[in-house]
Amino acid sequence: TGVQTCALPIYRIVELPFDLAQELLQSKMKEIRKRIETILLKWNQEDPDVFQQLTREGNIPEAEMDAIGIGNLMERLQEFEKIYTNL
């Protein structure tokens, strides 16, 4: 008896006033951009893609966890930007 589980994200549909939805998304996107900027400043970098590439190539080996973190933050930012665009 093989039981399979699947970890799918669960979404709920919530009704919000348009301006509140915009404000919440803008706030979250601003927070994510600030976190990305903080990591880049720590490593004296300006571009998240270049930073990730340098880390992958071994030029900044001690930055691996931050490069992974920036990748995750950039994915989240893209998700929020897509939602914002589709409001």
pLDDT, residue 87, reads 86
Asked if residues 51 and 62 have their Cβ atoms less than 8 Å apart, the reply is no
CB of 73 within 8 A of CB of 35?
A: yes
Give a three-class secondary structure readout of 56-77. HCCCCHHHHHHHHHHHHHHHHH
* pLDDT band with cut points at 50, 70 and 90 for residue 10: confident
What does the block give as tokens for 82?
């897509």
Backbone angles phi, psi at 23, to 5 degrees: -65, -45
38-77 pLDDT, tens per residue?
A: 999 999 999 999 999 999 999 998 999 999 999 999 999 9
pLDDT at 7: 66
